[in-house]
Structure 1
Amino acid sequence: MRRSKSVLTTLALAGCLAGALPVVAADGPVRVVSMNLCTDQLAMLLAAPGQLISVSRIALDPVSSAMSDEAAAYPVNSGQAEEIFAMSPDLVLGGTFTDPFAVQMLRDLGVEVVQFPIVSRLSEIPDVVRQMGVALGREAIAEALAGDFEA
């Protein structure tokens, strides 16, 4: 069962993630909100306990999310800038198709937003895992997970 869940997680990440330009200090943000299913799943795998404070509503959908059970432990958000801003995040994670108006509003309000484009090849996943690790200040755990994808 653990192996199949790992495979599902790999496939979920493969369909979602790609390079980003993390701009967060190495020690990492304290309050992280994810507003995209792909970044939800990667953040749930890498974030320190208590670091991830909200995931997108779709993370709870077992049809869409390979980690819906894990997502149930987090408050959900609907991706609205006002809602996310009220959570006082240090960092917001999004994707290529995250609402550009919400992203821009959050940036205008001084919130750091890192967006991850969609992956086009499985071979890109380890780099994205490492980049998320840098964004979260969790480089060591990201390196271990990236190694699992490369194995």
Structure 2
Amino acid sequence: MPPKPFKIPESVLVVIHTPALDVLLINRADAENFWQSVTGAKDREDESFLETAAREVAEETGIACGPDSLQDWGLENVYAIYPQWLHRYAPGVVRNTEHVFGLQVPVGTPVRLNPREHTAYQWLPWREAADACFSASNAEAILMLPQFVA
């Protein structure tokens, strides 16, 4: 079996929310009590951020969305990769660039988690969701949600 290729240090963050601004958080399988929005890296260099966002939403939550249903917030976060995940990247890669999107879904949208990636989900009012996030950049994005929905 060939070695797994290194992750591309370009990713997406998708804040999934209802019209009432309840936010979907999912708990990572590989880190206890690590609540977050949908995140994920590009699969290939030429994959657009929109394509990555739609693919990751479907893979992680089972929610099908086309690129036209995603709202590009025009924001990017550049952050240090957590030490426990540095081995997934090429030697010397220590920072990731994350592009932020929003996705509004109807109340009651079914969620089907990929059990290899996430163990639980919850819908929380946006301020509570921000407080529950492990990642500061994820919390900041959720706190900006009202300005992108207005």
TM-score of Structure 1 vs Structure 2, range by shorter chain: 0.3 to 0.5
More helix by share: 1
More strand by share: 2
- Give the TM-score normalised by the residue count of structure 2: 0.32
